[in-house]
Amino acid sequence: MRRALAIALLLALAPAAHADRARWDTRALATVPPPGYPARAYVAPNHRIYEGTYDNPSGDTVPSRVFEYLPDGTLQRSWTIQGQDLSQAHGVQVATSDAKGRLVLLDKAPARVIKLDPRTGAQTTYATFADLPALPDQTPMADYGAWGPDGSLYVTDYQQAVIWRVPPGGGAAQVWLSDKKLDGGPFGTAGIALAADHRTLVISQGSEAGLAAANPTTGRIYTVAIGADGRPGPLNQLWESGPAEAPDGLAIAKSGRIYVALVSPVANQIVAVGPDGKEVDRSPATFDAPSSAAFLGNSLIVADQSYVNGDPSHMQILDVAVGEPGIAELIPGRKAKPHARKKARHKHRRHKRKRRQR
Amino acid sequence: MSDTTRRRFVAGALTTGAAAALPGAAEARTRKTRHNAKRRRTRTADVCVVGAGFAGLTAARDLANAGKSVVVLEARKVVGGRVQNHELGGGRVSERGGTFVGPTQDHVLDLAQQLGVDKFDTYDTGDNVYMADGRRSTYSDTGPTGTAPLDPTILPELALVVQQLDSMAGSVPVDAPWNASSAADWDGQTLETWIKNNSASPKFRRLVSLATRPIFGAEPRELSLLFVLFYIAASGNETNPGTFERNFDTRNGGQMWRLVGGSQQIALRIAQQLGRRVVLNSPVRRIVQKNGRVTVTSDRSTVTCKRVIVAIPPTLAGRIDYHPLMPPERDQLTQRYGQGTLTKVAAVYDKPFWRDQGLTGQAVSIDGLVSATFDDSPQDAGAGGDGVLFGFVGGDAARTYQRMSPQEGRDKVLGEFAGFFGEDARSPKDFFETRWTTEQWTRGCPVGIAGPGTLLAYGDQMRAPYGKIHWAGTETSTYWNGYMDGAVRSGQRAAQEVLDEL
């Protein structure tokens, strides 16, 4: 009983603590150790923050790493990625996790999906991406990923103008959507998230360098529906960024607002876009290449990459107060929380008892 | 330490000493073992923690707070591990082991706060003393070198080398030093090799030992350069990169504060909270993983549990009998990760007389046995209480000291204290020393150290769980490795690992 009261008290206090923080108030949770260059900071259902190290533009031969942080920024565990081609630009993003709590990593070299089991450290290749012959100058570069309701994994490609679908169970990724609007040249398709309706994917586009739009320098947010037959609907533009702002990772709030990291040095901001496609507001430009956004409580967890400046002290995981929570991530096959299961079991037993009594 | 605890400690020490001295002691021990086996208590718990130092106790506390049943088996007759108070009388204490806390050591500071243990400033008013080649000088630690001596003959080299070390440490990942881009190069040489290649003056090279003796209990030739760089990188936290200065300095560094009631207070208070979950005098001999359960056998208890946290230094962990055997890589790591060689000597005076001379009580010396001293007086020393000076005798100096008779050692140390602070230092009312290498359940201090090649070959085994066995202890920490904060961090991390699995 005492513990229940303590938990209730903590829960009551938690929003108050958040309420004290002004919108866009930013705190550093952790500086990411070498090799640095953090990309997407993924917040798992257990509220741990997982951070992969992406490529060093100056080049290095150090394998990428994945770090596990507690919500307060304490470094808990870490893993070295196995089997990377260190002669190429290499890096991993923690895209999501699966029903068993394994992390789903997108690797640059080779272009593949790795599943990493935090309990054992075991790493297995879950999927691979092909170098599409139609785009001879560009190699695959899996950037962000999101689960679809049927267990397909949808993955953006920053260099090839496609969205991949990894079938349930893994294997070779298939081109799900190919569109000229996804051709951003060196600044291609980045963030992806499944909307609250669980049938619409929200996608960020770094630029339209492929000249599919009037202004090739501006980025965009697109939405695309996953049809009942699994096929993509039309690509709908929701919002257009300013010139050379390079929208990157994104997160969707319960309110329907979409928070997008603007990674370019021109912007260095987080922008909030309403469900109607109108810009709500922006953070101050205090970041150094913010590359992702993910909700943790009423905050966004943002990875500051310092990609251009290469300043190790700026390669941080940041807690940015936004005053609202995000939608829950859909992880196909994930069971309910243990206490919820317990409750259900208890209910089931009570039901059985009642039936016997009858 | 309460009177009861102290009496038990003394009684236990007498018993152990007597048994070892008697003829037929081996036979007596065998009889005793049989007797112990008969009266060994069998317990069941979710988790068994081996070692009641800061790491083990923190882990047990977190597990108990999470509603798990836990048993802590401690070999000593007291809790605290390498953190032990020394009673001065009248409720005042000094410390035999870990003493200081400082900025960025957030985890031990948070824990102290939760336990109601306050901190106070290490006495740092006035000048420090520097002794080199028989010449004594004083300097302020508010200068550019901090606690390091302000010696004009070596100042440029000191500044350059520290800057270089900090810069190199910046590229060492604290969670995986062996992954640094220059790891193979740095782990292939000792700190001494690197210093020889990057400095010119013999005097400066002697100064390096002044730092490595108290920090590692070792000489520069015993330390892998990569290990030293990792240690520097670890002298910070997730938002403040580690630096040599933060490690070595008192002002704004790792020696900035002390804990009211002595640093062991933290361990004593956690043990009080844990109550009967902590079993003293209970060295663990064997850990068996079988049929999805783990059985931990100590001299006093057999604990059957779901998970084990081994929270003792690697070299001691390697002396436990494991079934099945530890993986060879882990076993090899424990064979190579020996404890430093450190003795802490302390003299108690009627008052901290050096303060009247405008001195902090801090001295550094490249002559003699004692390489660094601190004012370790109780908090009320300024108001007429006892004054305590302690000194670190490490590395070769500790090995020399260990070969001296107690009287010879005491006279030598007090002679050096007198050289630093004046003749009053020669006549303390009490003198005590802690030879950590002779402590059966530590075997050296302040930390496990790595020579060349160890981190590269086996570093990744330090925290890797083995089946249902998890590893804690300050040596496993990513930040403030070797410090109380690192121990607390490691305990919290190991507890979380276990909670994830239960």
- Name the residue in chain A with its Cα closest to that of B66: A3
- Name the residue in chain B with its Cα closest to that of A59: B181
**Using CB atoms, which residue from A3, A31, A61 is nearest to B239?**
A31
A164-178, B3-17, B307-321, B392-406: the lowest-pLDDT one: B3-17
pLDDT of residue B214: 95
Residues in chain B with CB shorter than 8 Å from the CB of A35 are 173, 179, 181
Place of tokens 């995986």: B176
Q: What is the pLDDT of residues A91-134, one digit of tens each?
A: 999 999 999 999 999 999 999 999 999 988 999 999 999 988 77
In A, residues 300-329, which contact B (CB 8 Å cutoff)? 312-313, 316
In A, residues 102-141, which contact B (CB 8 Å cutoff)? 118-119, 121
Whether A19 has a pLDDT exceeding 70, the answer reads no
Segment B293-313 shows an average pLDDT of 96
Nearest to B441 by CA among B47, B51, B113, B24: B51
- Name the residue in chain A with its Cα closest to that of B167: A312
User: How many DSSP H helices and E strands does chain A contain?
Assistant: 2, 25
- Output the CA torsion sign for B236, B241, B247, B253: negative
Segment B323-334 shows an average pLDDT of 96
**Using CB atoms, which residue from B67, B175, B492 is nearest to A33?**
B175
Segment B159-181 shows an average pLDDT of 94
A70/B460 Cβ within 8 A: no
The first and second tokens of residue A92, run together, are: 């991993």
Residue B176 contacts A where some CB pair is shorter than 8 Å? yes
List Cα–Cα distances, A343 to A334, A336, A357, in angstroms.
17, 10, 21
Whether B72 has a pLDDT exceeding 90, the answer reads yes
**Using CB atoms, which residue from B107, B171, B179 is nearest to A80?**
B179
Q: Exposed, middle or buried, A155 (CB in 10 Å: 0-12/13-18/19+)?
A: buried
CA B479 to chain centre: 14
Please give the ipTM for the structure prediction.
Answer: 0.77
Q: How far apart are CA B211 and CA B200, in angstroms?
A: 18
Question: C-alpha dihedral over B240, B244, B248, B252, to 10 degrees?
Answer: -30
B64-73, B89-98, B122-131: the lowest-pLDDT one: B89-98
What is the number of other CB atoms lying within 10 angstroms of the CB of residue B442? 23
Whether B241 has a pLDDT exceeding 80, the answer reads yes
The first and second tokens of residue B495, run together, are: 């507890």
Please give the share of chain B, as a percent, with pLDDT higher than 70. 92
Confidence tier at B25 by pLDDT (50, 70, 90):
very low
Whether A42 has a pLDDT exceeding 60, the answer reads yes
Place of tokens 């895209």: A95
The first and second tokens of residue B361, run together, are: 């009580």
The Cα of B239 is separated from the nearest Cα of chain A by a number of Å equal to 5
Look at phi and psi of residue A320 and say left if phi exceeds 0, alpha if psi is from -120 to 50, else beta: beta
What is the number of other CB atoms lying within 10 angstroms of the CB of residue B263? 28
B172/A35 Cβ within 8 A: no
Residues in chain A with CB shorter than 8 Å from the CB of B460 are 80
Q: ∠ CA(A76), CA(A78), CA(A83), 5° rounding?
A: 170
Task: Select the residue from A77, A82, A117 to test the B interface by mutation, using most B Cβ atoms within 10 A.
Answer: A77
DSSP 8-class letter at B80: B
Residues in chain B with CB shorter than 8 Å from the CB of A312 are 170, 241
A312/B175 Cβ within 8 A: no
Segment B35-58 shows an average pLDDT of 88
Q: What are phi and psi of B322, to 5 degrees?
A: -105, 140
**Using CB atoms, which residue from B179, B463, B500 is nearest to A65?**
B179
The residues near A103 (Cβ < 8 Å, ≥ 6 apart) are A42, A44, A50, A66, A94, A96, A97, A115, A116, A117, A118
The Cα of B464 is separated from the nearest Cα of chain A by a number of Å equal to 9
Segment B434-458 shows an average pLDDT of 95
Residue A277 amino acid letter = G
Residue A338 amino acid letter = P
**Using CB atoms, which residue from B107, B241, B501 is nearest to A119?**
B501
Look at phi and psi of residue A275 and say left if phi exceeds 0, alpha if psi is from -120 to 50, else beta: alpha
Q: How far apart are CA A221 and CA A233, in angstroms?
A: 15
Residue B479 contacts A where some CB pair is shorter than 8 Å? yes
Q: ∠ CA(B207), CA(B211), CA(B212), 5° rounding?
A: 110
Segment B80-89 shows an average pLDDT of 93
Residue A229 amino acid letter = D
Residue A232 amino acid letter = P
β pairing state of B301-310 and B41-50? parallel
Are A101 and A333 contacting, i.e. CB atoms less than 8 angstroms apart? no
Helix (H, G, I), strand (E, B) or coil at A111: coil
Residues in chain A with CB shorter than 8 Å from the CB of B240 are 31
Please give the share of chain A, as a percent, with pLDDT higher than 70. 87
The residues near B66 (Cβ < 8 Å, ≥ 6 apart) are B495, B499
Are A147 and A224 contacting, i.e. CB atoms less than 8 angstroms apart? no
Are B45 and B305 contacting, i.e. CB atoms less than 8 angstroms apart? yes
pLDDT of residue B22: 37
Residues in chain A with CB shorter than 8 Å from the CB of B172 are 34
DSSP-H helix ranges across chain A: 2-19, 338-357
Q: Exposed, middle or buried, A101 (CB in 10 Å: 0-12/13-18/19+)?
A: middle
Q: What is the pLDDT of residues B267-293, one digit of tens each?
A: 999 999 999 999 999 999 999 999 999
Q: How far apart are CA B212 and CA B126, in angstroms?
A: 25
A63/B239 Cβ within 8 A: no
The first and second tokens of residue B101, run together, are: 């806390």
Whether A314 has a pLDDT exceeding 80, the answer reads yes
Q: What is the pLDDT of residues B186-210, one digit of tens each?
A: 999 999 999 999 987 888 888 899 8
pLDDT of residue A358: 41
DSSP 8-class letter at B355: G
Are B346 and B335 contacting, i.e. CB atoms less than 8 angstroms apart? no
**Using CB atoms, which residue from A80, A118, A313 is nearest to B241?**
A313
Q: What are phi and psi of B303, to 5 degrees?
A: -115, 125
Residue A285 amino acid letter = A
Whether A351 has a pLDDT exceeding 70, the answer reads no
Segment B122-142 shows an average pLDDT of 92
The Cα of A61 is separated from the nearest Cα of chain B by a number of Å equal to 7
Whether A337 has a pLDDT exceeding 80, the answer reads no
Residue A62 contacts B where some CB pair is shorter than 8 Å? yes
Confidence tier at A185 by pLDDT (50, 70, 90):
confident
pLDDT of residue A237: 95
Mean confidence (pLDDT) of chain B:
90
The Cα of A52 is separated from the nearest Cα of chain B by a number of Å equal to 13
pLDDT of residue B31: 54
Residue B52 contacts A where some CB pair is shorter than 8 Å? no
A35-44, A132-141, A218-227, B20-29: the lowest-pLDDT one: B20-29
pLDDT of residue A50: 98
Q: What is the pLDDT of residues A168-179, one digit of tens each?
A: 999 999 999 999
A33/B181 Cβ within 8 A: no
Task: Select the residue from B108, B174, B239 to test the A interface by mutation, using most A Cβ atoms within 10 A.
Answer: B239
- Mark B50-85 as b/e (b = at least 16 C-beta within 10 Å): bbbbbbbbbbbbbbbeeebebbbbbbbbbbbbbbbb
What is the gyration radius of the CA atoms in chain A, in angstroms? Answer: 21
Confidence tier at B36 by pLDDT (50, 70, 90):
low
- Output the CA torsion sign for B133, B137, B143, B147: positive
Task: Select the residue from B166, B167, B175 to test the A interface by mutation, using most A Cβ atoms within 10 A.
Answer: B175
